[in-house]
Structure 1
Amino acid sequence: MQANASLPDPRPFSGTATHPLHQLADALLGERNLGHLVAKEAALDAEIKRLLSQSDDAELLNALASAPSPASQRVLNERLRVNVAQAGADQAQQAVIFALPLVLVAGVRGKHVIAGKLPDVDAVRALLQQHGVIAADADVQLSAKLLDRDQLLAIQPSQLARWRDALQYASGGLPHDFKESPVQVDGDGVFLRFLVGVAMQKKDAAPAVQLNIAPGPWAMALTKLLGEQLKHDAMTLFPLPRAPQTWLAALDDGRVAQQEIRFQVFASNTLRKLREAGETPVAVLSCHEGAELRVTLGAEKNGEEWAGFIWPLGQLDRVEAIQQMMVDLLRECHHDDIRVLGEVLPQIKDNLPYFPLPTELPASATRH
C-alpha cells in the first residue's frame, strides 16, 4: 500500500495566459511583496468590475473557462465572487443576494413528486431568525420556491451585481420570474434544490444574514422542519440544508454537497450488495478525458459484478481533495482495497463508457 498514490488532473490546462485576466491573475499569484500584492489584486478587481459594468459576462466566463492553470482559475473565480457580492465603498446600503443549497435524499416505492414550493416558508425564516442565521430585525425576503441549479446558473454575474446596487428593499424579492422545480422521485435518489433570497445590508451594520455559517443546531432544526413540510407517507426523505451563501458560492457548494452524498449512497449500497453476494470488493479510482473522476466498485475475481460512479470535475474542484474524501469514506465502510490509476484514461472504450474493472488491472496496480 502506498500512501502517496495520487490521481492525475484530467483537465486540459494550457499553461499559457491567453487573456488579460489570465495575465493579471498570474501576476497576482506570482507576487510575494505585500504592498505589490494589494496593488495587483486591485488591478485584477478593476478589470473584473469593468467587464461586469459592461455586462460582458461572456468574456468573463470565457476567461475563467480558458484559465491556464488550476491556481489561475481558482483566483479568478474567487475575485469574481468578491466583486459580484461586494458593493462599492461609497454605498450606504446594498442588497445581499443569497442562496441556500438543499440536498434531498429521497426514497420511495414507485414514484412520487416532491412539490416545488414550501408550504410555509415563513416558518423557515422564523427558525433561521431564532438561531441567528438571519438577524431578528433584518429586511430579508426568502422565496418559498425550490429552484433547480440551472435556474441559478442562468442568472449572469452582471445581473447579480445590478440587483446588488439597484434593490432598495427586500420585501419584493428578486425581480425575476423563477419557476418552481418539483422533484421527480423514481425509486431513490439524491437531488439538489435551492432556496433563494435577498437581504438589505447597511454599511458597517451587523450582518443581516450570516453567510457560510458553520453547521450547528440551526441545521438540525431546519432538517427537521423541512422534513415535516415535504413529507409523504410513501416516501423516506432526508433534507440536508447547507448554509446560506452568496449566489455564485452556493452554486458550487450545492453541486459538491450533492456529489459527495451521491458517492456515499453509491459506495455503501454497492459494497453491501457485493458482500451479500459473497464477493470481495475492490475500488478502482481513475481520471478520464472530459474532466471526469470515476470510481469502479467491483468484485475482485468476477468481472460481471460491478457498478460505476462519475464525478464531473468543476472549475474549483481539487482532484486530490476529492480522492481523499472518497478514500476516507470507503475506509469508513470498512473497505481498504483501493487501487488508484495514475494516467488519464479515455471516456469511451469499445463503444461503452470506460470503467476499469478490478479483473482487468495488473497485479502491480498502485494501491492507496
Structure 2
Amino acid sequence: MAAKTDNFQSPDYFNVDELLSEEHKLVRESVRSYVKKEISPIIEEYAQQAAFPQQIVKQLGDLGCFGPTIPEQYGGGGLDYISYGLMMQELERGDSGVRSTASVQGSLVMFPIYQYGSEEQRKKYLPKLASGEWLGCFGLTEPDHGSDPGSMLTNIKDNGDGHVILNGAKMWISNAPFAQIAVVWARDEEGIVTGIIVERGMEGFSTPTTHGKWSLRASATGELVFDNVKIPKENILPNVRGLKGPLGCLTKARYGIAWGVIGAAMDCYHTALQYSKERIQFDKPIGAFQLQQKKLAEMITEITKAQLLNWRLGVLMNDGKATPQQVSMAKRNACEIATNICRDARQMLGGMGITGEYPIMRHMMNLESVITYEGTHDIHLLITGMDITGFNAFK
C-alpha cells in the first residue's frame, strides 16, 4: 500500500486553543508532527496485516509520551494533565492502538509504580519504561471477570522464603506479547487485592498472543498466564491494598482515552470534510447538499463540546479536584460521539469509506474496543447514575 501524505488540520470551532499555554501547543505540535511523519505513512499496512509496529516503542519513549506526568527524576516528563491529554489526542488521531501503547505504559504501568511502589521500585523500573527501553502491561481483566474485577481469581501465596507464588490468568492485555514487565493485580491470602510486578523470564510466566481481532489490529494484545510463578516479595507494590489500587490507575487511563478518541473523531471529520468538497455527484460537490452539511455540522458540534469538557477536566486534574465519576462521564461521552462521528463519516465516503485508502473504517473498528475497555459504555453510565442518585445499581 502506497504511503499517503497526511494533511490533517485540527478543528477548533470555539477557539479552545486560547485556553492552552504555549507549552501545551508545543507538546501537541511535536506529537502531531511525529504522527504525520512516522505513523500515518505506515499504519494502514500494519493494521491490514494485524502487526504491531515495534519501532514505535522507542520512538514514543524518545518523544516523551511514556509517563509525561511522572516527575523528571524518574525519567518522566513532569508535564501537566492537559499536555498528557493533548499527547493522547494526537496519538489516537494516528491510531487507537498507538495511543493504547502509550496509555498503558504511562497510566497503568508507570503510574502505579510511581504512586504505589517503593523508592527502589521507582528507580529500577521507571527510567527504563520512560525511555521505551522496556515495555510494560497491566493485568486486571480475567477470562471470567471483566466489568467485575472484584471477583478475580488470580492469587498470590506466601512461599515462606522471601517469595510469593502467583497463579491465575489475565486476558485482553494490551502490550502483553512484547512487555518486559507486567503490573498484576491478585488476591493475597487474606483475599485483599494486591499489586505485584512480574518480569519476563520468571519461570511459569507466559504471554500468548490474542489472534483474530477485527479491532486494534495494529496493537499487540495477549494473555498473561501464571503457573506457580515464584516472585520476590520486594516486587509487591507496598503502598496500596484493595481495589482502589487498580481503579486509581484506570481513572488516569480513562482520562487519556477521553482526549484520545477525540483525535480519532477529528481525523474522521477532517477526512469527511475534505471528501465532501472534492466528491462531485449530481453536478456539484456532495458538501453542497443539506444532508451532508447536517452530518458535518453535528460532527463539529460534538467535537467542540467534547474539547471543552476535556479541557475543563484537565484543569480539574491539574488542581487535584477531578473525581473518578467526572472522568467516567468524559470517557463515555467522548467514546460515544467519536463512534457516531466515525460511522457518519464512513457513510459520507460511501464505498470508499470501507477501504484502507482512508482511515475511517480502521478508526471505526478501533473505537469498538475503546468504547468497551477501561469500563464499558454501560458501566460508565451506571457510575454517573450512582453518583447522582446515591443508589448502587451494580448489586
- Is the TM value for this pair above 0.5? no
Higher strand share: 1
TM-score, reference length from structure 1: 0.29
**Which structure would you say has the larger Rg?**
1
The structure with more helix, counted as a fraction of residues: 2
Q: Which has the higher contact order (CA 8 A, sep 6+)?
A: 1
Give the TM-score of the pair, scaled to structure 2: 0.28
